[in-house]
Structure 1
């Protein structure tokens, strides 16, 4: 099962490497990882997507808690949360095809961020399903490159306290 972990850490150099190293040393694969500062510049939030059963997630959580810079670990998989991913897609688009591509971009409420002679770069944000759908819709035109960021997620409702 895929789990979404929200990990609050001290915003210091080397923390990302230590967290990623912990996963690597134990043979756990990170499917997605996004890191950014929070409203407190001394704290960063990592959103980590990892595949595993409850036992694996329990072990991952215990190992994360052993790292000095880790403040809080929450498995938000079963919570109500909002998540987003960002994708940039470079698609082949001759001038005669551009109106078709632009219609798809509009349908997905995405936007064109660069126009080349024979290509367009499209920016889209949304959940995993929306990102997969826009990629599938653009595939017939010829996708040249795709760059995706990891999932970011936030629990709905009241702000969680750091305790």
Structure 2
């Protein structure tokens, strides 16, 4: 039997194509926004997203220039290409915003996230948690007789994979920083 050449938007399980083949797919974009470091700027940026029903998957903010009083907001969001263009245009119109960069469109970028995991366990589960942490290059930053606290840095997918492996071994608590990203080159 040969493979079927099925177009985007069609289904292998139905004789009817109920989806609109012209509809845009949902995309994930990482936006870097340089803003004035002053009170209320973050609220205005977030208000733009909440007021229009746009979703934020990750949000990080830090001052990047002490003398120029500017901060960088890194936002990971999802939407159709049209929605992403609307978000960028609307962000650019906010007064304290200096630059808006879509790192997803501008070329390859490096994305990293820091996470802390508290894993409780005894015996074999404890040993297995240490083995898995070694494979993922996670560091033990705190240890008691009852649990470990691991620190791991990597892509969001790596953090997700580590969390899934730690759940059956006794994951009790997790904290994530959100994505920090820079364009490559």
Q: 2:137 aligns with which of 78, 88, 109?
A: 109
Alpha carbons 2:128, 2:169 under 8 Å: kept: no
| Separation in 1, partners of 2:148, 2:40 | 37
| Separation in 2, partners of 1:127, 1:96 | 28
Q: Which residue of 2 aligns with 1:48?
A: 75
1:77 alignment partner, SS class: helix
1:49, CA displacement in angstroms? 0.6
| Separation in 2, partners of 1:127, 1:84 | 5
Describe the superposition over 1:21-41 as per-residue Cα deviations: whole angstroms up to 9, x where unpaired.
111111111111011121x22
Q: TM-score, normalised by structure 1?
A: 0.89
Alpha carbons 1:95, 1:118 under 8 Å: kept: no
Q: TM-score, normalised by structure 2?
A: 0.79
| Separation in 2, partners of 1:154, 1:63 | 22
Q: Which residue of 2 aligns with 1:160?
A: none
What CA RMSD, in Å, does the superposition of the two structures yield over aligned residues?
1.4
Deviating beyond 6 angstroms after TM superposition, the runs of 4 or more aligned structure 1 residues are none
| Separation in 1, partners of 2:119, 2:93 | 45
Structure ranking higher on relative contact order (CA contacts 8 Å, 6+ apart) = 1
Number of residue pairs aligned between Structure 1 and Structure 2: 156
Q: Counterparts of 1:77-116 in structure 2 under 5 Å?
A: 77-78=104-105, 79-94=107-122, 97-116=125-144
Q: Which residue of 1 aligns with 2:92?
A: 65
Task: In structure 1, list runs of 5 or more residues that go unmatched.
Answer: 158-163
Match status 1:16 vs 2:35: no
Alpha carbons 2:117, 2:151 under 8 Å: kept: yes
1:96, CA displacement in angstroms? 5.5
